[in-house]
A = this chain, B = another copy of it.
Amino acid sequence: MEGVDHLAPERNRAQFNVDEMKIVWAGSRHTFDVSDRMARLVASDPVFRKDNRAMLSRKELFKNTLGKAAHAWKRIIELRLSEEEASEMRFYVDEPAFTDLHWGMFVPAIKGQGTEEQQQKWLPLAYKMQIIGCYAQTELGHGSNVQGLETTATFDPESDEFVIHSPTLTSSKWWPGGLGKVSTHAVVYARLITEGQEHGVHGFIVQLRSLDDHMPLPGITVGDIGMKFGTGAYNTMDNGVLRFDNVRIPRNQMLMRVMRVTREGKCVQSNVPRQLIYGTMVYVRQTIVSDASSALSRAVCIATRYSAVRRQFGPQDGGVETQVIDYKTQQSRLFPLLASAYAFRFVGEWLKWLYLDVTQRLQANDFSTLPEAHACTAGLKSLTTSATADAIEECRKLCGGHGYLSSSGLPELFAVYVPACTYEGDNVVLLLQVARFLMKTVSQLGSGKKPVGTTAYMARAEDLLQSRCSVQKAEDWLKPSVILEAFEARAVRMCVACAQSLSKFQNPEEGFLELSADLVEAAIAHCQLIVVSKFIEKLQQDIPGKGVKQQLQILCYIYALNLLHKHLGDFLSTGCIIPKQASLANDHLRSLYSKVRPNAIALVDAFNYTDHFLGSVLGRYDGNVYPKLYEEAWKDPLNDSVVPDGYQEYIRPMLKQQLRNARL
């Protein structure tokens, strides 16, 4: 049956132009072209195969990854790929590796925090990969709280050097990717000490290994921190541990763009605004949101295709069983995730604009929108990564038992994705930052200070505290303004309620701690509003292609109304809507699911994923699942022999009742 498209009948049912939707998903025709080209390039190169990852030992797996990284770099040079193309290529290679940190953290840290001079010295080396760098911030005992880092960098004016030192076990650098086995250099964050005084945490470029034989330099203890979640997943990465025993580096290896230490050991602030780091944060978080939509869409693609292939139970009169995608329970779990994938894609796209906007303002010394932009990206990072992690596991469950097989691709997708909930800011800690900003915004409402950006709606707080939802029949929920107002009212009311509760505390900090669980919920309400509103804004744009906009509209309603259903307690307890309206929304949701049903396969085809990238037998484009599952099974090393290793020692003595005398 090779070559037969078992999902063709599903594809023929689509009521929209899939090729046009692919462009919408990619963001532009150019992005689509690059992405499509790179995906095929990777998929067709046998070096990049990844279907055997689950069977490799840690050492084999790691060596394999090194080989892929080297091959990718070779191809990038040979084909003279642009930066954009190279980055897409690494994305489709789809295997965490030291290069992620080299390009994603080490280079940007030098660019963002290094002086012109430092950039000129280090960037060419990094660009050519003559050195390989990582980003050594977190420590064994210190994650979220950067100010709590214990590693010290003490200036020694005699030798004009910094002495980098790990004073305690808990100060060991711990987690940095690429550190354990590969990086020759690191940007190390340490407490600056000069003239006997502490001056906060700063970054220092430290060489870790010899460029001749890769041995750690004197005073440096470095290694891998061991196995992590999953079989392949992040075990392809050498997350590392690093200890310094009074390691000396020249003074000019402190990253000094914002503050420098003089020859005499004095700290001097530069005129570069400190706020620059927020620009970088906005950038990094935008990529995380964009990655969330990628991971989520991948899981949804697998679950949707397999839901169309898989049949279970069915008409009482016998005959062929029902496709599980036709069950409302399946639809009510799956389609909101499909809608979320699109929602996160569009909010990610908007974040790219926000980053450009913030950058331009920074260049013009306009810092007015920074706190809002910072809170907004923190919240969206938290919201999208938490939702995506949960959604991948839900997609796995939606595939029934077979989702538990490695060959479904979903276990590894989950294992490789979940760290996103923790890195670059723990999701709950980030929501508390959002809440803090929201409380400040609420407290300034009376002062005439106008809330900006994604908090602009709060200027209408008075109205929103009074407003009543106008829905009287199910179709009324199809007005974007109605949905928007309900979400705005909910967010404002939850924020104001928190602010009122807070005001009852004498010590506001104590109040904030005591009410933090409620504050987190208010922050979530605000962030969900952002995603809903950006989806609605997207739909106000001109979107070409037969039926494309209509499909997106349906998904937008599903995204919003499903959230409303899930968080009904918020909407009802704040009086934003009444039970009857909730019930109408729920009824309407069901009819929206029916509208998605015939388009479901085409809507996941629009992600344009190759079978190589998906890495899932269940999610195969052609739907030819069962023969391939059967075929895959026999490749497991356990099937190398019919009688397993261990039979003679352990099974046979048991069966023959000779265990008593056996030496085990």
Contacts and interface: CB of A to CB of B under 8 A. Distances in A.
A516 B328 contact: yes
A393 to B, nearest CB: 7
A54 B227 contact: yes
B241 A633 contact: yes
Contact of A652 (B67, B214, B419, B639): B214
A140 interface: yes
B655 A211 contact: yes
A78 interface: yes
A55 B57 CA distance: 7
A145 B313 contact: yes
A353 interface: no
Interface residues of A, number: 141
B586 A518 contact: yes
Contact of A572 (B169, B329, B569, B646): B569
A517 B590 contact: yes
Contacts of A633: 223-226, 241
Q: Which of A231, A515, A583, A657 has the most CB of B within 10 A?
A: A231
B241 A654 contact: no
B582 A659 contact: no
Nearest to A142: B312
Interface stretch (A129-137, A249-257, A270-278, A371-379): A129-137
A141 interface: yes
Nearest to A241: B633
Interface in A376-413: 393, 396-397, 400-401, 403-407, 411
A565 B520 CA distance: 14
Given A231-B231, A573-B582, A651-B66, A226 B635 contact: yes
Interface stretch (A179-187, A291-299, A447-455, A595-603): A179-187
A204 to B, nearest CB: 21
B513 A411 contact: no
Interface of A: 47, 54-55, 57-59, 62-63, 66-67, 69-71, 73-74, 77-78, 128-132, 138, 140-145, 148, 169-170, 172, 175, 180-182, 184, 211, 213-216, 223-231, 234, 238, 241, 311-314, 316, 321, 327-329, 332-333, 393, 396-397, 400-401, 403-407, 411, 415, 418-419, 421-423, 426-428, 432, 509, 513-518, 520, 565, 567-575, 579, 582-583, 586, 590, 626-627, 629-630, 632-640, 642-647, 649-655, 657, 659-660, 662, 664
Given A514-B590, A573-B579, 9 more contacts: A70-B662, A181-B638, A215-B643, A226-B407, A226-B635, A229-B230, A229-B404, A329-B432, A404-B422
